[in-house]
Amino acid sequence: MQTEIRNLEPKAIWNYFSDINAIPRASKKEAKITAFMQQFGNSLGLATAVDDAGNVIIKKPASAGMENKQTVVLQSHLDMVHQKNADTDFDFNIQGINMYVDGDWVKAKGTTLGADNGIGVATIMSILAAKDIPHPPIEALFTVDEETGMTGAKELKGGLLKGHILLNLDTEDDDELTIGCAGGIDVTIDGEYKTKTPVQGSAGFMISLTGLTGGHSGVEIQLGRANANKLMNRVLYNLQKKLNIEIHSIRGGSLRNAIPRESKSVIATKDAKLVKDEIEKWNEILKAEYRVTDASLKLNAKETSTPATVFETGFQQNFLAAVYACPNGIYRMTPGIEGLVQTSNNIAKIEAAEGKFTVQCLTRSSVDSEKTDLATAIQNSFNACQAKVSFSGEYPGWEPKPDDPVIKMMSDLYQKMFKSAARVDAIHAGLECGIIGGNYPGMQMISFGPNIYGAHSPDERVQISSVQKFWKYLLEILKQIPGKH
């Protein structure tokens, strides 16, 4: 299958994409991919540097006749989201991504694909290695840790780049030119609780919620997909109201920027038969509610050994109530801009077991005051649990500047090439442009890319024909970059 992908057009992009997808590159674990990129730049004889954060910067002089054009920064991030299906046997730490072609799409077998943002990285590599592509002076910026904190962009120092135009290759619809994005903040709820032994004679059950669609917690938060953490909590809350159940553990979700697809809970109960009946009932309820967005949803209960400890009764009630009350999904839409989410929260991960609990959220907003308001609402949801609530990883939004000349040039060029208007707008996901712009004020920035669907989930896929369209468009953009003032 890898050979089939390497033979796709344009071959340079698909070959470099295959190369980097053979390298594990989780956020905060980019040492191998950083070393690979540094070796790549050096092998081309180009000025190559790695800054203190681990970002790689490769500079390429203009092609013949383009020396007087403005320098362009081409930017993508090196890390990828590592997500896999529960039944997929795969170790991201040592294995490369198993890719295959399905019609007009490249997909991965049971894992995320890494097209976000590997296709952008491979595209820039193709420009750097090419000898026959007209282009202005290029500064290629490959950042690290975009997916879990944007620390690469945050720690990028001013003065390293000379370019006044930045093309970010991290948008996931090929008819969209992104000129703004939301900011975000990580909200973490931690605490401890007392445990007790379950009621004598109780049976143990593992309750599993699987098969949800998941996805990107910014780009796809408005699609109404199920959040495994919220649904598992809903089931447990209602079981508690009706039956005698005692919770041993709850574990759901993994990454802040991914809508959680799976959750598992272990309980003890003296109402074994009734628990089975209730789970069957809730399975039908949830499948009916989410039949459009999460058609493969499955809730089941399987008998297991009785746990040695369970939540203390008061904590169990308070914790389930807190998660129930915690905001999730869309908080507010953007007034005056149809379809654009302004503020949202993703309850991304819940882990409660053995006397300790943590809840991790990613709160996004294009309005800083509203982002703070939502984070405060989350904080207050957990007051009864005596939890410690901390805010970290905050990053700013990217304010749209629709009058920048590069935006008009690229919009006009899109219309000319594809006989239709590009969508010029902002998105609810986080992009590094707002952060980079803080250290490089006045830099014109725009983001675009090929069609990538299902990012941050094992359904991630990239469209082959769209990559070809994106490549053709980028090559024309580089020809149209204006001269130096």
Bridge partners of residue 94, in order along the sequence: none
The enclosing H or E element of 416 equals: helix 405-418
Catalytic residue among 145, 146, 172, 176: 146
Residue 28 near residue 145, CB atoms below 8 Å: yes
d(CA 83, CA 106): 17
Among 330, 347, 327, which residue's Cα sits nearest to residue 339?
330
The secondary structure of 11-25 as a DSSP string is HHHHHHHHHHHTS--
Q: 333 Cβ partners below 8 Å, 6+ apart?
A: 339, 340, 341, 342
The enclosing H or E element of 187 equals: strand 183-192
* Environment class of 25 (CB within 10 Å of its CB; exposed 0-12, middle 13-18, buried 19+): buried
Rg of the chain over Cα atoms, rounded to whole angstroms, equals 24
Among 418, 426, 405, which residue's Cα sits nearest to residue 473?
418
Tell whether omega for the bond before 10 is within 30 degrees of 0, i.e. cis: yes
Catalytic residue among 30, 79, 432, 460: 79
d(CA 377, CA 380): 5
d(CA 253, CA 262): 6
Whether 146 is catalytic: yes
Instruction: Kindly state the DSSP code that residue 401 receives in the 8-state scheme.
Output: -
Start-end of H helices in 45-185: 115-129, 151-154
* Residue 464: alpha-carbon gap to chain centroid: 21
If you search the block for the tokens 């092609």, which residue do you land on?
63
Instruction: Kindly state the DSSP code that residue 156 receives in the 8-state scheme.
Output: P
d(CA 316, CA 198): 13
Among 324, 347, 344, which residue's Cα sits nearest to residue 334?
344
Q: 140 Cβ partners below 8 Å, 6+ apart?
A: 41, 56, 57, 58, 59, 60, 73, 74, 75, 124, 127, 128
d(CA 282, CA 239): 10
Give the Å distances, CA to CA, from 337 to 62, 118, 175, 341: 40, 30, 18, 9
Active site residues: 79, 146
